[in-house]
Structure 1
Amino acid sequence: MRRREFLATGTALCSIAVAGCAHPDVVLDMDDASSDDIAYEVSMSPDPGSEEYRVVTSAIENGSATRSGRYDLFDRTDTVRVDDAFYAVTETRLGSGEVTVYEVLVDVDPDDTSPDRGEIRYDDLPATDRERLDVVFSEDPPSGQDGYDAGVSYGTAEEVGNGSAFVPEQRYDIVVHDGDRYRVGVESRDANESEYRYEVTRVAPDLSTFADQVRDRYLFALTGLSDAERSVVEGAIDGGHFEDSDAFQSVIDRIRDHEGLNEDDFYGTWLVAYEGDEYLAYAEW
């Protein structure tokens, strides 16, 4: 994980996992920016087995692609890297309707372990169920609460196919795993599903060309700094700067005068040149 990614997620991590952990009030963190780092910041590289990869490669080969889904695929970025080339992806919602989606629930320590529908060994479950439920049964799941302890989204019956022991028809309510008995339930709800069309345009044939395009648009130099401002920047390069001051706010103002790679109300990432080197500068103020 890049240092700025850790900082950006630190508040959530502290609130969940670490008592007494404090996220800094302000941050300026500057990491060396290679072409790969720049591309990572403003594009995505979908795994070959992913839905994103499937629709993009299909659109490359056929001119366009369609899919049905309950969420946008490219909400973080619309630039995708496939086989070292880079593509701008247009995701158009054509229409929508309601579908039924299923969730399989697991009670780790049920009071009653006698089956109402039937019981089955975990290893005897169809592969489609084991693939989905492995996230629960491969580790020690949470327990100690009333009712079900974990839930796994299965999606629609069409997505699951005909092989499941639980969706759309539940055949078992007790699963035996390593001698322990788990109660399984199934819930369904209506959800909105849309039809999407995808079209792609190649924006760069390789990494070097793409990174240069990003530099041309976003790169700027931090120059003419005071000694105090220079101290802030060099601290940011040398592990991160986390103290508020007039010099810190002045540097942030200089940075925010330029277009960022990613920007929000109170944080963002910029591509910065300083003393002849390039940096990805992550800031919170």
Structure 2
Amino acid sequence: MRRRQYLASGTALLSAAVAGCAHPSVVLDMDEATADDIANEVSMSVDPGSAEYTLVLSALENGSARRRGRYELFDRTDTVRVEGSFYEVSETRLESSEVTVYEVLIDFDPANSTTELGEIEYDDLPEADRQRLDPIVSEGTPPSQDGYDLGVDYGTAEEVGNESVFVPDRQYDIVLHDGNRYRVAVDSRTAPEAEYRYEVTEVASSVETVADQVREQYLFTLTDLSDAERAVVEEAITDGYFQDDDAFQSVIDRIREHEGITVDDFYGTWLLEYESVEYLTYAEW
């Protein structure tokens, strides 16, 4: 769906480059919406084995569940899709404390690559380290600047476990990779951590039920358009509309008269019907 490309690119970064092109200053994008599309718009799906999945199942089985962490898990939406059913998740912060978090720093072209602690082949690193470092060391051309080039967030020692050769205690300061010698350092800082309590309530047992609930609250019909407004809508359906003209603003004004699924100061998403077809409609103005 085109609309999700704009959302993923970060609506606040209107002048940033997206796929090689400047992000448009205005957007009207209308995607034909199935029941599944509508349900996905108001919920998040969680994968088996993820922390979110485990917490939802635990709360269902035990009435509630608890976790300690440095961030909320359900900050985008409180509706979660698990195995075809939809649940409203209550995430309550109980108490806060501070923990030590670690960052592994890498210098890809060190001025001095002589080891002081020891050196290790990249392939010999424990899985805990390779899992975190693979995304950056596997890049074709690593970044190069004075000092350390990149930092990799490792989290807390508890999150890392006992396998890492860098966190919490650094055992090596040189990593050998494809004939190159990388210098590795470790930085630490304190960060807030909180205990959270989770409670869940089933709100729907099917996609169709969720879609009907969304339709009942948000769906409206876009009718009685002028020829200029109709041209804007037709292009928004086909390719997206990006011209800040009077017709665009007129259509936006009409859409904004209705309650949106999500609406911010200068962008939002609505569910509307146009010529008997339902569309998830994303706009920036």
Smaller-chain TM-score bracket: over 0.9
Q: TM-score normalised to the size of structure 2? A: 0.94
Query: Displacement of 1:141 after TM fit?
Result: 5.3
Query: Displacement of 1:144 after TM fit?
Result: 2.1
Q: Are residues 1:44 and 2:48 paired?
A: no
Query: Displacement of 1:225 after TM fit?
Result: 1.6
- In the alignment, residue 60 of structure 2 is paired with which amino acid? I
Aligned to 1:59: 59
Q: Deviations over 1:159-198 (max 9, x none)?
A: 1112210111111000111221110000000000000001
Change (3 A) 1:17 1:146: farther
Tell me if structure 1 keeps the 8 A contact 2:17–2:23. Answer: no
Aligned to 2:272: 272
Q: Deviations over 1:185-237 (max 9, x none)?
A: 00000000000001101000011111111111111100122222222111211
Aligned to 2:23: 23
Tell me if structure 2 keeps the 8 A contact 1:36–1:207. Answer: yes
Query: Displacement of 1:278 after TM fit?
Result: 0.2
Tell me if structure 2 keeps the 8 A contact 1:29–1:237. Answer: yes
Aligned to 1:164: 164
SS at structure 1 position matched to 2:198: strand
- In the alignment, residue 3 of structure 1 is paired with which amino acid? R
| Number of aligned positions between the proteins | 283
Give the stretch that moved more between structures: 221-230 or 77-86: 221-230
Unaligned stretches of 5+ residues in structure 2: none
Q: Deviations over 1:98-137 (max 9, x none)?
A: 1000011111111111111111111111221111111122
Aligned to 2:4: 5
- Provide the identity percentage: 67
Change (3 A) 1:195 1:109: same
Alignment of 1:127-146 (within 5 A): 127-140=127-140, 142-146=142-146
Q: Deviations over 1:9-58 (max 9, x none)?
A: 27749635777x33222211110001111112111002223222221121
SS at structure 1 position matched to 2:135: helix
Aligned to 1:262: 262
Q: Deviations over 1:71-96 (max 9, x none)?
A: 11111111100001000110000000
Aligned to 1:150: 150
Q: Are residues 1:191 and 2:191 paired?
A: yes
Aligned to 1:222: 222
Aligned to 1:250: 250
Q: TM-score normalised to the size of structure 1? A: 0.94
User: Alpha carbon RMSD of aligned pairs, Å?
Assistant: 1.7
Aligned to 2:124: 124
Give the stretch that moved more between structures: 48-57 or 217-226: 48-57
- In the alignment, residue 4 of structure 2 is paired with which amino acid? E
Give the stretch that moved more between structures: 31-40 or 189-198: 31-40
